[in-house]
Amino acid sequence: MFKLVLDYVRKNKWVYLLVAVTLIIYDATLVIPTQVVQRLVDAITKQTLTEKGLLATVGFLVLATVINYGSAFIWHLKLFQQSIHFKFDMQQRAFHKLVAMRTPFYEKFRSGDMMTRFSTDVEMLQDMVGYGLMIILYAGGMIAFVIPVMFLISWQIALLGMVPIVLMTYGTYRISQPMENMIDEARDAISELSNEVLETVEGIRVTRAYSKKANQSSRFAQKTAALADRWNAIARYRALYMPMYGVMLGLSTVLILGSGVYFMKAGQVTLGQVVALQLYVVSLVEPFAMLSDFILVYQTGKTSFGKLQELIETGDDLEEDGKIEIDHLEDICLKDYHFAYSQASKKSLEGIRLHLTSGQTLGIVGKTGSGKTSLIRQFLRQYPVGEGIFTINGLPVTAYSRKSLEALIGYVPQEHILFSRTVWENIAMGKVDASKDEIHQAIATAAFEEDLERMSDGIETTIGERGVSISGGQKQRISIARAFIGEPELLILDDSLSAVDARTERQIIQNIQAERAGKSNIIITHRLSAVNHADWVLVLDDGRIVEEGTPDQLLAQEGWYYEQYQRQQAQGEEE
Ligand SMILES: Nc1ncnc2c1ncn2[C@@H]1O[C@H](COP(=O)(O)OP(=O)(O)OP(=O)(O)O)[C@@H](O)[C@H]1O
């Protein structure tokens, strides 16, 4: 962690130099009032104080106070401003990392945990760069200034006066050792709490439907109580040692005054010097107490640094990105292709063989869990490439830059993600500079026109969390319009029409095929009518292709496809 902080200080060396210089001035001007008191007391006891001398002293004190304020303003402002920049820097680094990562990375962290790393951990580190550095610079500076001055007055009295405070600081350090574990536990408890909140919010409908509100509330209460326990334990430790500084100050006072009187009688120090020594010790209590606070800031910073580092260092296990920028999809070819998820004990795809050329529509059907989504994830390059042959336009898929490949594919996933924006904005995400006509064309293709007419503000209606709630089927069609508008070379619909009726589904698929002449489509579906007009259909079972052909050929084979087709017809899903 120190390397990170030092690198940051080095990167902003001029700001920190200004902070250091103003801090030195600040520390120096803090010492002045005590020296003035020392001289005044001595002048009064020697009866040498004149009116002019008093006025000059007051003037000097005012000047010192103004300089003290000015320097404090500058170093406070710069130090804490810089810590805010540090926070944004860290968050941006983490954010860039997040957007660059593929699915396997996200499977390694829970959402709440990731949010905690992003917010709480970054703030703890910011504390280290702000408050932590302030302690080192201010407290360190004060101690470095005051102790030599004290020793110059009388090393014997200074030594006696310092002993209790130094012992106390060492004791505090020893006492606070167990705090490291407590801070780790408190940090993990925050993460647990965030997970709980996110999962509760995401699943609120289910929680309500199953009347599990009380259950959920009590789980939440348990987690907050666990977090409160951790912080209470830390507070107890602090409460234990912080008041001890007052006791130690009392002890130092006794030692300084006792030995001061002794050395005064011996003529080695003046009354003014004894008073000054006492005031110096008082001024040292705060910096030493801050040093013990540094232990807390350091421990929390260290814990949070570890968590952030883990986030930044964790990869998505994907192979190095390819160099070739691909700009069209001529053909996609898989031969004897196998794929397994890293945590899975068995393969999700086995011996896959397929060939898709531009302009074709490929249907993928099969039982639930048979590997349909896993197969299209290969085209999206969400996971490391499996074993076997996987080429695009005759070259291995890994030769192409993932970003350029991604730009050619329009993907409509099973879970439809819409944003709390207008219908227009949600669709235009698929093509930033889309014209009005293009948006309306996409809406017509996705058979969403009638629904739009029923919405209060039409295409300007805000949907999602802070807007109008829309049905699953409407979400699906907005998602299709969004993918369609980008005119991708390959459009993938992953069970994206499950919530619309069979007639609308057929209409959308006909629209897509008519509008996308010369471009490819992959349609994953449970309803076989959706692939009636596909050029080729694959039937998957347990990760293998068990049947394939045109829809007519598949019916003629009288296998799973045929049986399923008959059943769905009988159930009246076909008109
Ligand atoms: N991220 C993952 N990690 C490990 N195993 C996974 C992962 N995703 C899917 N699987 C497993 O891979 C197999 C195929 O799942 P996949 O989602 O491809 O099926 P599917 O045919 O699309 O199912 P459905 O029709 O229900 O969407 C399943 O056994 C599933 O449990």
Instruction: Give the per-residue pLDDT at 453.
Output: 86
**Residue with the nearest Cα to atom 19 of ligand 1?**
369
CA-nearest residue for atom 29, ligand 1, is 369
Q: What is the pLDDT of residue 14?
A: 92
CB atoms within 10 A of CB 422: 19
Share of the chain above pLDDT 70, in %: 94
The reply to whether ligand 1 has any atom less than 6 angstroms from the CB of 59 is no
Atom from ligand 1 closest to the CA of residue 103: 1
State the distance from the centre of ligand 1 to the C-alpha of 373, rounded, in angstroms: 7
Q: What is the whole-number distance in angstroms between the Cα of residue 451 and the centre of ligand 1?
A: 33
Query: Picking from 298-302, 374-378, 562-566, which range would have the lowest pLDDT averaged per residue?
Result: 298-302
Q: DSSP letter for 254, please.
A: H
Instruction: Label the pairing between strands 361-366 and 387-392.
Output: unpaired
Q: Which of 343-352, 385-394, 411-420 is least confident?
A: 411-420
Report pLDDT for 203: 64
Q: At 211, is the pLDDT very low, low, confident or very high (cuts 50, 70, 90)?
A: low
In the numeric block, the tokens 């830059």 are attached to 401
Ligand 1 within 6 A of CB of 348? yes
Domain positions in the chain are: 2-313
- Is residue 551's pLDDT more than 90? yes
Does ligand 1 have an atom closer than 6 angstroms to the CB of 496? no
What integer best gives the mean pLDDT of the chain? Answer: 85
Statement: residue 209 has pLDDT above 70 = no
The minimum-distance atom of ligand 1 relative to the CA of 526 is: 25
**Model pLDDT, residue 204:** 60
Residues 314-324 have a mean pLDDT of 84
The pLDDT, as a whole number, for residue 9 is 84
* The pLDDT value given to residue 574: 46
Alpha helices in 266-371 (DSSP H): 271-313
Q: Is there an atom of ligand 1 within 6 Å of 373 CB?
A: yes
- The CATH superfamily of 2-313 is ABC transporter type 1, transmembrane domain (1.20.1560.10)
Could you tell me if the CB of 50 is within 6 A of ligand 1? no
d(CA 79, CA 134): 7
Residue 518 banded pLDDT, cuts 50, 70, 90: confident
> Is 372 close to ligand 1, i.e. is its CB under 6 Å away?
yes
Kindly give the distance from the C-alpha atom of residue 95 to the centroid of ligand 1, in angstroms, as a whole number: 28
Angstrom distance (rounded) from CA 152 to CA 147: 9
* Residue 365 alpha carbon to ligand 1 centre in Å: 13
Q: Using a 6 Å cutoff on CB, does residue 344 contact ligand 1?
A: yes
Q: Does 167 sit in the ligand 1 pocket, CB within 6 Å? A: no
φ, ψ at 94 (rounded to 5°): -65, -40
Query: What is the DSSP code string of 29-52?
Result: HHHHHHHHHHHHHHHHHHT---HH
- Give, using CA atoms, the residue closest to atom 2 of ligand 1: 341
Asked if 117 and 308 touch (Cβ cutoff 8 Å), the reply is yes
ipTM given for this complex: 0.96
The reported pLDDT for the residue numbered 465 is 60
